[in-house]
Structure formats: C-alpha cells, structure tokens
Amino acid sequence: MRVTDRRIVATILTLSLFTGTLPTITRRAKAANAEKSQGENETEKKGLQFRLSQGSGQTEPAASIPVASTTVLSATETENLLKRLPELKSSAGDEESFNPRGPSLLPPRTGKTIAQVSRARVAWRCRNSYRPGCKS
C-alpha cells in the first residue's frame, strides 16, 4: 500500500469511529443534563426558597422620632443616684503599676549550612528504612 492509500483508510476509519460514537456521546450528555436538571428542581423544592422582585421607590418620607426632653441633674440628685449603686470590691492584686511588654526579639541571623550529618541521624535513618546499604 502506498502512503496516500494508508491515509485514506485511516481517515475513513477515524470518521466512521467518530460518527458512530458521536450520537452515543450526545445522547449520554443529554441524559445526564436531564437528570441533573431534575435533581436541581427537587432540591429547589426542598431547600430554602425566596423570590426577588423589583423594589418600589419610597413614596413617603420616614417619620422622624421625636427627641426626648432632658434636664441636667443637680449635684444632690447625682449623689443620690450614685449612692444606690453597690460599692466596688477591690482586692490587693487589682492595682498594679504599668507593665510594658519586653523588648522585641532580633530577627534570626543567617548561618552556615552544615554538610556533615551526625552519626545518630544516619543510624536513625537506617533503622527506619529498608535500604540495602544501611547497616543495622
């Protein structure tokens, strides 16, 4: 067979596979979408429901709340009011002088990278692994 004959055969086989499977794929996708939409409708009925609509403009201004009339208390009235309050109980540890936090720590310094691994670390690695070169 020549190269052009092989290409024609390959193209025909590819098209036949594609056209044969395309309807199946679309049918499956449509069925999945239908099941999905039915599932969504059921969940909408079961869950929290609310409806949005266009709001209407405010036709009337809001009624203002009248301000209560007040009077200043005299010194004797203020004293009488404060006498009705219970006394504050204080203990010895309540009064402390100002305690500022300590100074901030310095940023960590960069150090040298140590290439040597300790023998204890190597022994631990050998015990916890199944390497052929490790001696237990």
- Asked, for residue 26, whether it belongs to a domain, the answer is yes
DSSP SS3 for 134: coil
Could you tell me the pTM of the whole model? 0.23
- Asked, for residue 33, whether it belongs to a domain, the answer is yes
pLDDT digits (tens, 9 = 90+) for 23-46: 666 677 777 777 666 655 555 566
Total number of domains constituting the chain: 1
- Asked, for residue 14, whether it belongs to a domain, the answer is yes
% of the chain residues with pLDDT over 90: 13
- Asked, for residue 20, whether it belongs to a domain, the answer is yes
Q: Are residues 12 and 20 in contact, defined by beta-carbon separation less than 8 angstroms?
A: no
- Asked, for residue 28, whether it belongs to a domain, the answer is yes
DSSP symbols for 74-130: PHHHHHHHHHTSPPPP--TTS-----PPPPPPPPPPP-PPP-PPPHHHHHHHHHTS-
- Asked, for residue 113, whether it belongs to a domain, the answer is no
Residue-range definition of the domain harbouring residue 11: 1-47
- At residue 122, what are phi and psi to the nearest 5 degrees? -65, -45
